[in-house]
Amino acid sequence: MKVKVSSFAGADAADIELNDEVFGLDPRADILHRVVTWQLEKRRATARGTRERADVARSGKKLGRQKGGGVARHGDRRAPVFIGGGKAHGARVRDFDPSLNKKIRALGLKMALSSHAKAGSLVVMDSLSVEGNKTKTLIGDIAKLGFGKSALVIDGDAVETSFALAAGNLKDINVLPAAGANVYDILKHDTLVLTRAAVEKLEARFHG
């Protein structure tokens, strides 16, 4: 698959050949759904477990006789009403760490990239350099290229410094290094912007 390479300067560079095994797949909703669900589940944090009545280390001996003492009929010191007793209905540790086969995760990422390529919302940039690190300059450059309402920009090992600084105030532009590319963020944005370095890194990730 050939895609033209754009630049903020306005002049189109030579076309780039994208690997069809990464950018030319037919997206499947079931695979993408499984990967996104797995990814969001992994983000969840469980509560810190509290010790309930059965977990605290206190005497289990009955405090006094059942009747005639003029006090409440307590069984032992583990009751929640006592200081040092167990927590009543306390938070419990829950497992939010589902497993998903590595092949399915890799396939989901390929399909997410392919979905933008097939929809025509994939932009490949020659460079992300922004003159003067200025947000105003970047807004003008983006307007010329016609990005969608929201865009995810993925660079190589690290995002180009001038672009990262210029895009810092733009809520609809998010940036990631190639190592951070993931299905959820790719599908969430209207436009996917990759640099040449990002394309090389992503293709090498699957065919290293």
* Tens digit of each residue's pLDDT (9 = 90 or more) over 146-166: 787 899 999 989 988 999 999
pTM, two decimal places: 0.78
177/155 Cα distance (integer angstroms): 5
> CA–CA separation, 93 vs 46, rounded Å?
6
For 18, the 3-state DSSP assignment is coil
pLDDT tens per residue across span 50-109: 999 999 999 888 888 999 988 888 888 999 999 999 999 999 888 877 889 999 999 999
**Closest listed residue to residue 57, CA positions, set 81, 82, 31, 86:** 86
C-alpha–C-alpha distance, residues 38 and 106, integer Å = 13
User: Which band of pLDDT confidence, cut at 50, 70 and 90, is reported for residue 10?
Assistant: low
Could you tell me the domains of the chain?
2-44+101-207 (3.40.1370.10), 46-95 (no CATH)
